[in-house]
Amino acid sequence: MGRTVILPPLPPPLRLFERMYTIRAFETRMEGESKAGRLPGTFHSSVGQEAVAVGACASLRETDLVVSTHRGHGHFLAKGGDVFRLMAELYGREEGYSAGKGGTQHMAGPKIGFMGSNGITGGGIPVAAGLALSLKRQNRENVVISFFGDGAANQGAFHEALNMAAIWKLPVIFICENNGWGMSTPVKDVTSGPSIAHRGEAYGILYQRMDGNDLEEVVEQVRAGIQMLHNEHAPVLLEAVTWRARGHSRSDQNLYRDKDEESRWAARDPLALYRKRLLDGNRATEKELAAVERKVDAEIDAAFQRCQTLKPARPETAATKVYASPEVPDAEDPSQRPLKEGEFEEKAYWEALQEAIREAMDKDERYFCFGEDICEYGGCFKVTRGMLEHYGRERLVNTPVSEEGIVGLCVGSAMGGLRPIGEIMFMDFIMLAFDQLLNHAAKFHYIYDGQIKVPMVIRTPMGGYRGYGATHSQCLDALLTHLPGIRVVTPWSPRDAKGLLATCLEEENPVVFVEHKALYIAKGPVPKQSEKIPLGKANIVRPGRDITLCANSYMVTLALQAAEQLAKEGIEAEVVDLRCLNPLDRKTVAESAARTQALVTVEESHLTGGWGAEIAASVQELAFGYLDAPILRVAAADVPIPSAPELERAILPSAEKIVATVKKALEARG
């Protein structure tokens, strides 16, 4: 049953007019600065759309949340953003909301509930749904508003997020600002159906189309939407039909638009319409309105003058706040202590993973597991088997087959204070969520200058040797290392699997935790006493004097097999398990290579662009003078992974290939 929710009182008409005029004056001034070349980057004006921003935010409390778009200045100001700090950000100054790191498209003010503008079309919609999930799980009576343009309504992220929000009845209002144009393409040419709003019908949620240039209609519809959201416990989709008075961005001269149509919309300017309505209804006088305009103009001028005195951002700040919790090079590594009899139990890799998850979930209710088929089925590789009976469906959540939505909701819910543990069934599928990883999880802490954290773990299995074929056998761990802002962890032993996952679950950074399919049933000693293994510390799992084998994940097994074969021929190979690819322990590998004077890297990802090349370059830099043999690499051949066992064996690493490569390296030594 729904209930009547007491909404905050609306601001008086003059205050609403002031907010609209502030947006107009701010953007007009800053657009001029941009065209004059005095602002870095581009500029996306929302002139002509002020009624949507102000009308939507008029009924929000400070604790309600907003997720915005690349055209977000108006939303930010309507939510209570500070004119000076916003202006300083556009100038690229440290006094700005993102200290100059975000610029016009990437601003956040969590203290006032503005959870970020976003440069990716549609990218913020799943994030908004994730924030709404966090509100619901924390029993907060707040709502999220997700602003997006008409172009975003044709993105998969829109449909995945709306479906998930509808399934779980999340407290989010999706507001499409349909300004008629996706950059230079008319919306009518690329959008099917009677309206964008009608797409809500497919998901069984309330929807409404409204005049986005009529401030009072927007206020009424959003206010009703918030009330219906509480009554129906379901999201709402609103489409605000409006008009973008300027070009798409600074360089757009608007030559593609019909001048008569532009004139018709200009006659419906939302600021002029509301001004006239206040005068005609005797709700304000010309003198009062003029006074508001003078006041705002003075504030804009004062902010502008203040910004002219600001110093440029210091170059040394460019590399700060990439990570919410930095690596600790001298952190104690408990896994280096040998386990004594009675201190450990032999456990399978999957059991060690589940133990780490259970311990975190038992300790803190903010943790929950989120992924495809993880409940009764226990996950594709059974890591969550038996957990549903203990934790229930609130904390073990079966999701749709929607990888972008899974990761996007994890991002948003982590931003909102939860600790999601997402699961992507096969690592190959992580590419479907790459936008949320690359442009959202990895970047938010940095581009918002540390105001937002994304403490989430995405678990996923990688690897071949099972005949699954090209789309279910890839190792994309090396690819992820090219994303600053994300930790990438690839444990080999059951002990490391538990200890590293325990650490990752307490990380303040997003983590992709990569598990190899061939390791799930592998057994090894796991301490009875829980331990946390620090990230970024490689482990020497076999000492040797003649050559170093640097490997990760299942390749450590092959490297050890190769080392045993080599030992029979009098060649003692040292095997280094990287354990993490980000942070990457270059030092331990370089020191080992310096001792043995030779190095072979062993990875299952493809040869070209793999992490082995990075290690080789690092060792050349750190230990070149000690090497007396060329650094060689063993990796998957640069072809897709075939299914037939004979073909798969032909292109993937093996112990025999490692042995042959070691002998080649040592032959070159002379």
**What residues are paired with 174 via a beta bridge?**
146, 237
From the list 521, 402, 511, 405, the residue with the least C-alpha distance to 456 is 511
What is the structure's pLDDT at 214?
Answer: 98
- State the pLDDT confidence band at 501, using cuts at 50, 70 and 90: very high
Tell me, what DSSP letter sits at residue 271? H
Interatomic CA distance for residues 54 and 413, integer angstroms: 26
Tell me, what DSSP letter sits at residue 619? H
* Encoded amino acid at 289, one letter: L
Q: Where do the domains of the chain lie, and which CATH numbers do they carry? A: 13-313 (3.40.50.970), 334-527 (3.40.50.970), 540-669 (3.40.50.920)
Interatomic CA distance for residues 244 and 635, integer angstroms: 52
Residue 444 φ then ψ, to 5°:
-60, -45
Q: How many CB atoms lie within 10 A of CB 301?
A: 12
Interatomic CA distance for residues 25 and 162, integer angstroms: 34
Cα distances (angstroms) measured from residue 654 to each of 441, 602, 650, 659? 35, 9, 9, 9
Q: How many CB atoms lie within 10 A of CB 5?
A: 12
What's the mean pLDDT in 432-446? 97
pLDDT score of 2 more than 60: no
pLDDT score of 417 more than 60: yes
pLDDT score of 4 more than 70: no
Interatomic CA distance for residues 128 and 199, integer angstroms: 18
Q: How many CB atoms lie within 10 A of CB 15?
A: 12
Spatial contact of 492 and 556, defined as CB atoms under 8 Å apart: yes
Token duo for residue 534: 């620090």
Spatial contact of 559 and 494, defined as CB atoms under 8 Å apart: no
pLDDT score of 529 more than 90: yes
From the list 669, 574, 576, the residue with the least C-alpha distance to 631 is 669
Q: Which residues contact 426 (CB under 8 A, 6 or more apart)?
A: 380, 460, 461, 462, 471, 472
Place of tokens 């690329």: 190
What's the mean pLDDT in 443-456? 97
Q: Strand locations in 413-469, DSSP E? A: 419-423, 457-462
What is the structure's pLDDT at 670?
Answer: 63
Secondary structure (H, E, C), 139-179 = CCCCCEEEEEEHHHHHCHHHHHHHHHHHHCCCCEEEEEEEC
Cα distances (angstroms) measured from residue 125 to each of 41, 179, 304, 469, 580? 24, 18, 33, 33, 31
pLDDT score of 86 more than 80: yes
Interatomic CA distance for residues 249 and 228, integer angstroms: 36
Give the tens place of pLDDT for each residue, 356-368: 999 999 999 999 9
Greater confidence, 265 or 79? 79
**Any idea which of 73-77, 143-147, 335-339, 632-636 has the lowest mean pLDDT?**
335-339
Interatomic CA distance for residues 390 and 406, integer angstroms: 23
Interatomic CA distance for residues 371 and 374, integer angstroms: 6
Interatomic CA distance for residues 572 and 596, integer angstroms: 9
Q: Which residues contact 204 (CB under 8 A, 6 or more apart)?
A: 166, 234
Interatomic CA distance for residues 666 and 102, integer angstroms: 50
Cα distances (angstroms) measured from residue 84 to each of 80, 302, 306, 373? 12, 8, 8, 49
What is the structure's pLDDT at 213?
Answer: 98
Tell me, what DSSP letter sits at residue 246? S
Place of tokens 């001029």: 32
Interatomic CA distance for residues 359 and 560, integer angstroms: 31
Interatomic CA distance for residues 441 and 434, integer angstroms: 10
Interatomic CA distance for residues 164 and 139, integer angstroms: 18
Q: Residue 488: enclosing H or E segment and its boundaries? A: strand 487-489
What is the structure's pLDDT at 3?
Answer: 56
Spatial contact of 497 and 353, defined as CB atoms under 8 Å apart: yes
From the list 456, 451, 446, the residue with the least C-alpha distance to 412 is 456
Spatial contact of 29 and 23, defined as CB atoms under 8 Å apart: no
Give the tens place of pLDDT for each residue, 548-584: 999 999 999 999 999 999 999 999 999 999 999 999 9
Spatial contact of 577 and 536, defined as CB atoms under 8 Å apart: no
Q: Residue 452: enclosing H or E segment and its boundaries? A: none
Tell me, what DSSP letter sits at residue 220? H
> For strand 172-178 and strand 236-241, is the pairing parallel, antiparallel, or unpaired?
parallel
For a pLDDT cut of 90, what percent of the chain falls above it?
Answer: 92
Spatial contact of 61 and 8, defined as CB atoms under 8 Å apart: yes
What's the mean pLDDT in 76-102? 97
- State the pLDDT confidence band at 10, using cuts at 50, 70 and 90: very high
* Encoded amino acid at 155, one letter: Q
From the list 424, 419, 441, 423, the residue with the least C-alpha distance to 368 is 419
What is the structure's pLDDT at 668?
Answer: 87
526: left (phi over 0), alpha (psi -120 to 50) or beta: beta
Q: Count Cα atoms within 13 angstroms, Cβ side, for 542.
A: 23
**Any idea which of 190-204, 246-260, 620-634 has the lowest mean pLDDT?**
246-260
What is the structure's pLDDT at 325?
Answer: 87
pLDDT score of 1 more than 50: no
29, 35, 39, 41 alpha-carbon torsion, rounded to 10°: 130
What's the mean pLDDT in 447-454? 97
- Cis check: omega of the bond before 110, within 30 degrees of 0: no
From the list 535, 557, 523, the residue with the least C-alpha distance to 655 is 557
From the list 569, 576, 577, the residue with the least C-alpha distance to 598 is 576
Residues designated catalytic: 403, 472
What's the mean pLDDT in 360-389? 97
Spatial contact of 20 and 77, defined as CB atoms under 8 Å apart: no
What's the mean pLDDT in 415-419? 98
Give me the chain's average pLDDT, please. Answer: 96
Token duo for residue 397: 């959540």
pLDDT score of 464 more than 70: yes
Q: Strand locations in 558-669, DSSP E? A: 573-577, 580-582, 599-606, 632-636
Q: Residue 442: enclosing H or E segment and its boundaries? A: none
Give the tens place of pLDDT for each residue, 126-142: 999 999 999 999 999 99
Interatomic CA distance for residues 550 and 623, integer angstroms: 15
What is the structure's pLDDT at 327?
Answer: 79
540: left (phi over 0), alpha (psi -120 to 50) or beta: beta
Spatial contact of 642 and 659, defined as CB atoms under 8 Å apart: no
Give the tens place of pLDDT for each residue, 163-197: 999 999 999 999 999 998 888 998 898 999 999 99
574: left (phi over 0), alpha (psi -120 to 50) or beta: beta
Spatial contact of 399 and 371, defined as CB atoms under 8 Å apart: yes
From the list 201, 129, 200, 203, the residue with the least C-alpha distance to 171 is 129
Spatial contact of 527 and 344, defined as CB atoms under 8 Å apart: yes
